[in-house]
Amino acid sequence: MKRATAFYLLVMACAAVAAVPPTLHAAKVAVETTSADGTVTTEEVALEIKDSRAVFRWPREKIPANVKRIAVWPDFAEARSGEDGCWVFPNNRMGRFTRAEGRAYESWGMFMPCFGMATPRETFCAIATGMSYSLSAEVTVQNGVYRMRALFDKYMDDLYEDISVEFRLLAGADADYSGIARAYRAYQLERGACRPITERVKDQPLLDYAVRHPEVRVRMAWKPVPSPVLEQVTRNEPPVKPVVTFDRMAHFADVCREVGVDGAEFCLVGWNVGGHDGRYPQIFPVEPTLGGEERLKACVRHVQDLGYQIAGHSSFRDCYMIADTFDSEFVVEKNPNGTLRRGKTTYGGGRLYTMCPQRAYERFCPKQCAEMATLGFKGLFYLDVVTARPIFPCPDPRHRLNNGQRATWECNILDEVRSVFGGSASEGAYDFCVGSIDSALTIQWCKPFEPPKCKLDDAYVPFWQLVYHGIVLSTPFRTMINCTANPDRRSLLKLAEFGGRPTYYVHSVFVTGRAPSMGTIDLELTTEEKLRQSALWIKEGCDDYNRRRALQFRFMDRHEDLGNGLFRITYSDGSRLVGNYNDAPRTVDGVQVPSLDYVVLPPARRTEM
Ligand SMILES: [Zn+2]
C-alpha cells in the first residue's frame, strides 16, 4: 500500500501545477482521410472538453481498407508568426513562431507518441492513445500562419485498434514546453506505464548504485565492421581482434580504484564468442582469445571485489547466419512470399538479420539470461538497439505481431533481464517499453552545438528529459559519451543541462569507412599510459557528477533558456541547476556561475510555516 500512496502523491503533485482552467470549452478537429488511390475525404468532429481534456476517437470500422493516412487538425493548434510560444516534437525539436513559410515533419523520431504547442490562446499536449506507433507530427507555416496536426501515416494496413488522440489543455505556469512535457509524464504515471526511480530502487537495489555512478562500457573484441564476408560460416569467419582481455579489464579496474574512481558500473561489450555482435544469437563459448570463461568469471569477481558494479552487453534482436542456432523461422525480414529480405547492412557477424521478439523470448531469452548469470554479472544489463529504433510488425504468420503485441514481447525480454541481473539498459529513447527499462545510452544522435537541420527548428530542448528524468537514466547526445575527454568543455555543461548520467565507452571507435557515431574522442586501453589516462577521465566525470547526482532521483520540472548563454533547470524538489556557456563568470539567481560551468542551488527556504 505504501507504493500506492507514494504514487498517488506523485500524481497529485503533477496535477497540482495544472490547476488553471483552460479557456476552451469546446473544440473541433478536421479529420482528413487519404486513401491509397489518392481519394481525400474530410470530416469535422466536435470535441467535448472535460476536466481540461478532449478526446478524439476514430473507430477503425470507419476507416477504409486502403487508407494511407489520417490527418487530425485541431482548430486550436494555430498561431501567427510573431506571437509568443512554441511547438515541440518528442525528439526535443522546438521552434518559435518566427517564420512565414515552411514545414517541419517528424516520423522516425517519435520517441514518445506525443507533441505539443503553446500559443497565446491555448497550450496543449497531444497524446496518441490508440494506434500510437503510427503517429507522426507536422507543423506547417503558410503566409505566417502556423498549424500543427497529428498524422497517422505508418502501418495503416495493420489497424489493430481505434485511432485516438487525447488533447490535454494547459494554462498558466504549464503553458510552455516544460508544461507540455509534464502533462505527458503525468499521463504515463497515471496509467502506470512507468514508475519513478525513487520507487524502483526499493525493489532494485542495484539500480541505486547505477544512478549514483557513471556507466563505463568496454568494447573488448570484434571482427571487422563492415564484414568482408557477407554470410559467415565457421570456415570463412574473419578473425576476432582481441583488444581488452579479461585480465586487462581487471587491471583497468585496479587503476580506476587507484586513481580514485569512487564508483562505476562497467559493462563488458563483446565478451561472447566472436566479440561484439560475433555470432548472435549464439553467445557461448566466452570468446577464447580474451581468456575464456574462467578468466571472465575471475575478472567479474575482481571488479566486484573492488566495489564496482559490472554487467554485460548482449542482444536478443540482431542475428547472423553463422550462429549455431540460426533459423530463418525467427527472422522478421521476410517478403510476402516468405523468402528472406537480404539487406546490405553488415556487422561483425556478417549480414544483419533481426529476430522476432516473441521468438527471441521463447527460444533464447530466459535460457540465455540464466546462462549469463552464471558468469557473475550484476547490474543494469545492456541489450543492444531495442529502444534505439521505432518498432515495426513481424509479418511471419507463425508468430505474427502487430506493433502493440511487439511492444509487449520487447517488454517481456527487458523484464526478464531486469529480474535476473537487477536492472535493464538499452540504446535509445523510444518509450514503448519504458516501464521495463532503467537506462538509455543515447537520446539524440545529432550534434548538440550545430544548428538544427530543419529551417523551422530553433533549438533542441530537453523535452524527453522533462518527461523521463527521474524515471530513466540517460545520456542526452551520442557525442556526449566520453565527455570529460572532450577538450570542448561545453559538452560537459550540456550533459549537466540535460540531466545526463556520464557515460564512457572504451574503444568506441571500431567501424571502418564511416565516421564513428560517438565522435572521435575515445578511451583506449592499448598502452599503460592510455589506460591510466582513461581512468583519470572517468575520475573527472565522477567528481563532476557527484555535485549533481542526487538530482537523478528528482523529476526535471522546468527548463529555461535565460538568454546570453545562461540557463536554469528546476527540479521537482525545488532545487535549481544554473549554468553559464560564456567564457567569463556570470551571475544567475544571485550566485556567481564560473565560465562553462554550473552551480546547483538547494530548494529555496520556505518563509511560511
Ligand atoms: Zn514474429
Ligand 1 mean position, distance from CA 321 (Å): 18
Q: Which three cell numbers stand for residue 403?
A: 506493433
The pLDDT of residue 308: 98
* DSSP H helical ranges for 176-243: 177-190, 197-200, 205-212
Ligand 1 mean position, distance from CA 93 (Å): 33
The pLDDT of residue 196: 98
The pLDDT of residue 16: 43
Based on the number of CB atoms within 10 Å of its own CB, is 37 exposed (0-12), middle (13-18) or buried (19 or more)?
A: exposed
Ligand 1 mean position, distance from CA 231 (Å): 23
At 297, which amino acid appears? Answer: K
- Determine the Cα–Cα distance for residues 524 and 568; give it in Å rounded to an integer: 35
Ligand 1 mean position, distance from CA 394 (Å): 5
Ligand 1 mean position, distance from CA 332 (Å): 6
Taking residues 347-371, report their average pLDDT. Answer: 97
pTM of the complete model: 0.95
Ligand 1 mean position, distance from CA 354 (Å): 10
Ligand 1 mean position, distance from CA 11 (Å): 37
Ligand 1 mean position, distance from CA 319 (Å): 14
- For residue 239, whether the previous peptide bond is cis, meaning omega lies within 30 degrees of 0, is no
Ligand 1 mean position, distance from CA 390 (Å): 16
Confidence of residue 606 (pLDDT cuts 50, 70, 90): low
Ligand 1 mean position, distance from CA 374 (Å): 29
The pLDDT of residue 605: 66
Ligand 1 mean position, distance from CA 355 (Å): 8
Ligand 1 mean position, distance from CA 281 (Å): 16
- Determine the Cα–Cα distance for residues 197 and 154; give it in Å rounded to an integer: 33
Ligand 1 mean position, distance from CA 395 (Å): 6
- Determine the Cα–Cα distance for residues 339 and 334; give it in Å rounded to an integer: 6
Ligand 1 mean position, distance from CA 34 (Å): 29
Q: Return the minimum-mean-pLDDT range out of 1-10, 26-35, 175-184.
A: 1-10
Ligand 1 mean position, distance from CA 585 (Å): 57
**Residue bearing cell 591510466:** 532
- Determine the Cα–Cα distance for residues 329 and 355; give it in Å rounded to an integer: 9
Ligand 1 mean position, distance from CA 366 (Å): 17
Based on the number of CB atoms within 10 Å of its own CB, is 262 exposed (0-12), middle (13-18) or buried (19 or more)?
A: middle
The more confident residue out of 371 and 48 is 371
Ligand 1 mean position, distance from CA 330 (Å): 7
Ligand 1 mean position, distance from CA 399 (Å): 4
The more confident residue out of 515 and 398 is 398
Ligand 1 mean position, distance from CA 405 (Å): 10
Ligand 1 mean position, distance from CA 198 (Å): 35
pLDDT at 2 over 60: no
The pLDDT of residue 26: 77
Ligand 1 mean position, distance from CA 322 (Å): 21
Ligand 1 mean position, distance from CA 209 (Å): 36
Summarize pLDDT for 571-589 with one digit per residue, the tens.
Answer: 999 999 999 999 999 999 9
Q: Which domains does the chain have, with CATH numbers?
A: 2-190 (no CATH), 197-553 (3.20.20.80), 556-601 (2.60.40)
Ligand 1 mean position, distance from CA 65 (Å): 23
- Determine the Cα–Cα distance for residues 569 and 96; give it in Å rounded to an integer: 20
128 within 8 A of 150, measured Cβ to Cβ? yes
Summarize pLDDT for 78-130 with one digit per residue, the tens.
Answer: 999 999 999 999 999 999 999 999 999 999 999 999 999 999 999 999 999 99
Taking residues 28-39, report their average pLDDT. Answer: 96
Confidence of residue 22 (pLDDT cuts 50, 70, 90): low
Ligand 1 mean position, distance from CA 317 (Å): 12
525 to each of 40, 154, 486, how far by Cα in Å?
60, 45, 17
Q: What is the rounded average pLDDT for all residues in the chain?
A: 94
Ligand 1 mean position, distance from CA 379 (Å): 29
Taking residues 5-24, report their average pLDDT. Answer: 49
Give percent of the chain with pLDDT exceeding 90. Answer: 91
Task: For residue 243, give the 3-state DSSP assignment.
Answer: coil
Ligand 1 mean position, distance from CA 24 (Å): 45
Angle at 117 between CA 112 and CA 22, to 5 degrees: 110
Ligand 1 mean position, distance from CA 188 (Å): 27
pLDDT at 10 over 60: no
Summarize pLDDT for 143-194 with one digit per residue, the tens.
Answer: 999 999 999 999 999 999 999 999 999 999 999 999 999 999 999 999 999 9
Ligand 1 mean position, distance from CA 329 (Å): 9
pLDDT at 14 over 70: no
Summarize pLDDT for 198-210 with one digit per residue, the tens.
Answer: 999 999 999 999 9
Q: Return the minimum-mean-pLDDT range out of 17-31, 48-62, 147-161, 268-282.
A: 17-31
Count CB neighbours of 64 within 10 A.
13
Ligand 1 mean position, distance from CA 392 (Å): 11
Summarize pLDDT for 493-551 with one digit per residue, the tens.
Answer: 999 999 999 999 999 988 888 888 888 889 999 999 999 999 999 999 999 999 999 99
325 to each of 282, 329, 330, 347, 360, how far by Cα in Å?
6, 11, 10, 18, 11
Give percent of the chain with pLDDT exceeding 70. Answer: 95
Ligand 1 mean position, distance from CA 383 (Å): 19
